[in-house]
Every structure is written in structure tokens, then in C-alpha cells.
Structure 1
């Protein structure tokens, strides 16, 4: 998330938010009352600055889907709960699940050296001691390419569709010295997840996209989830916005090329996100031993919410106990998926705005909405 919050200086689009959509109807008087309260809270999130918002709220067999505000400010198109959006770093959970499946199949080990699995990819001596586990845990020490301002220069000059290749981004990262010895502290790095995808390709002999579709997207029926390799988003989708300028106005950044690839290029929906994390956390994708490895955590040091990093997933301390899942922040979009340890309770909350654009007060409303949905029992 850090690299995405260093946003871009570009031409601007002035837009005006329209009223939110009404609440959805539900089964009982009790649930209707609670659902109306959630709709009012979601409308409050739009009033706090988000162009639009959508919520999936699941408790046992009851699943509620709500939306508010706009998916497209220029056309005045309302947000719908079926709209696709850029899910950013939720992609890391998909990537980690594929790597862990390969560990489960004994095709590699979590403590295998990356240098041995990818001979010649990392400059000689640069990544000494880095293992697969370090890549997935965000403690490899390898420099995050998104922290180099050159990566954003094409977009800053107005070329949103500039297509960095994964190898070009790795080359930029490797120009910087490692930040610390592997395994010694937390540092969020898309570089690590590009290397993880390279490992998938080296071990399987297939493209990463092939393995993603074969192992996760098709088996789970995620029809609205993909890893695009163009700047477009297929199907009906929410536009993403960032605030820029003086006075600040919304700029449409929807069609920024998704260069983070296996580290953050995911496009999805709230339903597909919920389906994936329920399948992952209830053990349908991994063995108990690999689940234990995935849920072995270290402290996250760059988050406003108390959290810890496992292998491709996070755990958060909430007012009602632990939540597992992952956040995703692509430019113009923010999504969190929280799921309880028993997987009975799940919240997916998405806005088509960036945390820096929302500001501290707006993000406080977002975080309150997240906890309010997740913790109602």
C-alpha cells in the first residue's frame, strides 16, 4: 500500500457526486432494521468523500449486499454490487495460495533459496539467503520497485497505459541495495511477489496466468476475477479516483496499466473476493500443515490497523476478535476482506477512492464501517 499512496500528478477531471442508491430489501423486520443501519453507514462513507462504495456482509447463511454513490462520476452511473474493480494487493493472497499448493505437492519447499529456484534472475549475491518463505512473508529485504519514482514517471506525464514488464521492474528494484538481512523485519514489497510468480512459472513450466486460472479461478467459479495484462477492465466496472490539485478535485485513474502483476494486478468483485477468502481460510485450497504455515505471522509495521502478516494473508485485531484476509489498494481503489477464524462471518468493503484522497477522517469512517459490519452478530 505504501507505493500506491505516493500518487500521481496528471490532468484533472472535475466531477460531482450524486445521491446514493436506496437500501436493499431483506427477509425479516429485525434484519431489515440492521440492514438499513448498514446502508445508512455506507451512505455515510460516501458522504465522507468516497465517490462510491459497496459492501458484502455475510453472517452464517445470511448474505447482504449493499452499494452507495457512483461507479462513474462523469456518466452519473450508480455503483452496483456486481461491478468489477481493481483489487490490488488481494492478488498476493492468490499468488501465495498457488505457491503453497506447489509446496504441498512437494515441487518446492518454503525454505528453498530463491537463487536456486531462479538461477540468474537475481544478480549474483544480491538476494543471498532469501527463501520462498521470505518472499511470501514480506521480510525478504528486497527493495520494492514501487518505491522508485521512475516507475510512476510515465503515468505522471499522462501515459496511464505505459506497460512496464515484470523484468523491467525487477531490474529497477535490483539497482537498490537490500534494505536488511532476510527474515529480520517486515517490509512490504511487490518485488517479492513478482519473484514468487516467476518461481511458479519455473516449477510448473506454465505461465503464471495459466496456473492462476487452473488452480483457483476455474475451480472456485470466480467468473468475474482476472489478472489483466492491458489497461482496460472487462465488463461493467467501477471507475477509480484520486484527489489532486489545489483546490483538490477527482481525477479518473481507472485505466492505469496494472504493472504490479502477481503482486497487485487483480480485478475482481465483492462476491468473488468473499468466495476466494472463504475457500482459502476454510482449508479447501491447502492442507492443514500448509494452513498452519500460512497463518504463522510477523508484526506489520506500516498499517494504521493492528495487524500481522502471514504468507499472503493478514490477521487483524478487531473489536470482536481476530479477522483474517487481505486488503487491496490499487490507485483509485481500496478493498478489505475480513473473515472470522471459523469462516462464518465475512465482510468485503470496497470504495473507488484512494486512502490518501479520503484523508484521516474519511479513513476513520471506512474503518468504523468495516468493524461495524464484521462485528455484528
Structure 2
């Protein structure tokens, strides 16, 4: 069982993450009816503008929970079959045997076997997912590049498969979630962005959450600093970036407060039905982009804040990374304990001679913050 939230310990823990090397971070923690909001450091290293808990932020693959929820809302309406062949809805993108064997569920839980398109869209990021062995040149070159979603999907479809459809472990791939966006458009006749906004963001009453239409973030936000394993020194600001390279698989802009509200409502059965939430929690082993095997459901997975293997399953949520921006959101299924933390620095670990990221003081400080937030 978790201990009661300790605001003094949380303040100490968040300050320690800043001291360890993150320019700025902000968080919101719920313990029953008690709410703690805190921030440490700066939102802009040039001006010294401080971070505050209400800032908007790019939340990366936390977006996948939103996209999955939008797809599952269509499943509840009978427009999509969760275990139906995906080629039924997308015959041009998934023709033949591939379209017959890959199901909608396999796209949601990353067991389709489809490869990640990212190294083909950003050639200097090869080999992927071993980003640590590559340079960050493509980031600056493509800061304002407008990618076409179909072209990205076709890159993933043309790449050598990561595995056979339905086999485990699955392989985490943004190709799956861009296909789900096309699926939403095929069955609703509106854009994926409109579906997710209407059925998830507005349904949850999220006032500071949106899928961006431009490279800029509207409203108060932090600068977002990318270190790229120490290759960018000082870390470079990538808060202005065209997010069409991931679209509604990882482009969401939100706040820590909105994300805590969203996951609380999701776990309460107010975004999708309780029976659908049970499907979201059916996990399979999936190899993450960090090459770790994790249990993964339908846009949602169990998480461990300690880390303590005995606690795995107590907390559910998703993490996300964009260039310079990181977010972690998780909570208990009863909604009583929830946490969302956002940091404005990414890939702070430097590399050893073999190209492996080395432990950094930020890692331990963040783990201590998560433990203070969720375990007391």
C-alpha cells in the first residue's frame, strides 16, 4: 500500500531533479482529494523564466492512449471490430495476406510485426532504435518539414518486418498508430485529429490539450532542450518543431493537470466503457524503443514507479518523449493516486565507448520523485 502524500518530500524530490541537471520540470500529484503541484528550475535557460505547473508541453507517446481510446470508441459503436482484419478497413494500405492476418488489436498492442518508419523518414537516425549511435543532424534539417502520413506508413510497410503478425514479443512501432489514424478516417469520414478531439479530448473536458496544426505551441510553455546523449552541448531548443513526423501517434500538447484528469476519467470508465478498459489492460510482451521488453496493452501499460517488480501492475499509464520534452503519467486504477511529471530535457545520458547510455544523476533523481509521488 502507498503511504500518504508528503508535500515536503515532493518539493525536495523535484528540486533534486533540477539540481541533477534538468533545466526545468513540473508535476501534479493526486492522493485522494489532495492535490500537490510543483515546479523547479527554468522554462528558458536564456532569460531565466521559471517553470510553473500549468505550462503546456509536448507529451510524446502519451498520445497513444488518446488515439487508442478514440479507436475503441468506434469499436463500441460497432464501426470497427477489435479482432477484425485491419485490411477490411484499409484495403489499399494493407492488401492481401498482410491485411487478412493483421488485426486492429495487433495495431493497438504492437504485435502486427510492422517495422518502425522513423529511420527511413530521418535517414541519419539509422540504425533504429539504437538512436545513441547516430547524430542529431536530421532534427535541425527537418525542423519545419511537413511529412505526409501515407508516405510515412508506406516506408514502414516497405521495411523488413519486425516479426510475424500476432507473434510475441511485439515490437513498438509508430507505423501501427499512424495506420490507426487512417482507420479512424476510413470509418468516420473525418480526420483522425477531429475524432480524437471530439471523442476523447472534449469528452474528458480537457481545456489545454490539443493535436497541433503548426510547429509552434500556443499558450504558456517551456522551451524544450535536446541533448542527444551529450552530442548537443549546450542542449538545443526544439520546442518549435513540425510534429507531422509522428502525427496523432505522438504529437499531443497537454498539461500535467489535463493528463491526470484524463487518466482518472479513463480508469473510472468515463472515456470508454469498463469492459473496453479491461481490453486495454490485456497485455502482451513488447520490445520498446529502448530495447526493453515490457507488458503492453491497447495504448496503455502497467508501470512501476519505484522500481520494484513486486509492485508492477499497481499503476497504469504511458510515457512519452519528443525532441527535448519528456512526460510520464500514471496512476492507480481506482484513480486515488495519480502522477504526471514533465521535463524539458531529453537524452541526457552520455555514451560509453560501446555506444551505451551511461547512468546519470537525473535517472536516480527522477526515480526518487516518482517514488515520493506514488509510494510516499
Q: Does the TM-score normalized on the shorter chain lie above 0.5?
A: yes
- Asked if the contact 2:121/2:152 (under 8 Å) is kept, the reply is no
Q: Distance in 1 between matches of 2:123 and 2:44?
A: 27
Q: CA offsets per residue over residues 197-255 of structure 1, 9 Å max, x none?
A: 11111111111121122112222221110101211111111111112566832111111
**What is the CA deviation profile of residues 35-88 of structure 1, one whole-angstrom value per residue up to 9, with x for unaligned ones?**
122111111101111111111110000010000011111221111111111000
Which among 347, 351, 354 is matched to residue 343 of structure 2?
351
Are residues 1:142 and 2:126 paired? no
Question: Can you list the C-alpha shifts for 1:89-120, whole angstroms capped at 9, x where unaligned?
Answer: 01100000011111111111111111111111
Q: Distance in 2 between matches of 1:90 and 1:131?
A: 22
Residue 246 to residue 95, structure 1, CA distance change in 2 (3 Å): closer
Task: Indicate if the aligned counterparts of 2:64 and 2:249 stay in contact, CA closer than 8 A.
Answer: yes
Q: For residues 270 and 347 of structure 1, what CA distance do their matches in structure 2 show?
A: 8
- Of the three residues 312, 319, 325, the one matched with 2:317 is 325
The CA distance in 2 between the partners of 1:53 and 1:271, in whole Å, is 14
* Residue pairs, 1:256-275, within 5 angstroms: 256-258=241-243, 259-275=245-261
What residue number does 1:295 align with?
281
Q: Matched residues in 2 for 1:235 and 1:248: separation?
A: 28
Q: How far apart are 1:317 and its partner, in Å?
A: 3.7
Structure 1 residue 130 displacement after superposition: 0.7
Matched, 1:114 2:86: yes
How far the C-alpha of 1:333 sits from its partner, in A, is 1.1
Q: Find the aligned partners of 1:266 and 1:77 in 2 and give their Cα distance.
A: 24
SS in 2 for 1:334: strand
Aligned residues: 345
In 2: Cα distance, 1:356 partner to 1:103 partner = 40
Q: In the alignment, which of 287, 291, 300 is matched to residue 313 of structure 1?
A: 300
| 1:298-345 Cα deviation digits (max 9, x unpaired) | 124336988421100010245456100111111111111111121110
Distance in structure 2 (CA, Å) of the matches to 1:94 and 1:120: 25
| CA distance in structure 2 between the partners assigned to 1:300 and 1:139 by the alignment | 8
Alignment match, 2:14? 42
Query: What residue in structure 2 maps to residue 229 of structure 1?
Result: 213
Matched residue of 1:67: which SS? strand
Supply the distance in 2 between the matched residues of 1:348 and 1:116 (Cα, whole angstroms): 38
- 2:32 equivalent in structure 1: 60
Q: Which residue of 2 aligns with 1:241?
A: 225
Match of residue 341 from structure 1: 333
* 1:167 matches 2:153: no
Counterpart in the other structure of 1:371? 371
Q: For residues 8 and 279 of structure 2, what CA distance do their matches in structure 1 show?
A: 40
Q: Distance in 2 between matches of 1:142 and 1:246?
A: 30
- Change in Cα spacing, 1:45 to 1:305, as seen in structure 2 (3 Å) is farther
**Aligned residue for 1:278?**
264
How big is each residue's C-alpha offset from its partner over 1:103-153, in whole Å with a ceiling of 9 and x where there is no partner? 111111111111111111235545551110000001111011113363668
Task: Find the partner of 2:181 among 170, 176, 197.
Answer: 197
> How much is the aligned-residue C-alpha RMSD, in angstroms?
2.2
Q: Partner residue of 1:360?
A: 359
Secondary structure, aligned partner of 2:185: helix
CA distance in 1, matches of 2:55, 2:81: 38
Aligned CA distance change for structure 1 residues 268 and 246 (closer, same or farther; 3 Å): closer
| TM-score, normalising length: structure 1 | 0.86
Question: Matches of 1:211 and 1:169 in 2, distance apart?
Answer: 21
Question: Whole-Å Cα distance in 2 between the matches of residues 78 and 152 of structure 1?
Answer: 34
Q: Are 2:88 and 2:99, in contact at CA under 8 Å, matched by a contact in 1?
A: no
The answer to whether the Cα contact below 8 Å between 1:114 and 1:131 also exists between their aligned partners in 2 is: yes
5+ long unaligned stretches in structure 1 = 1-29
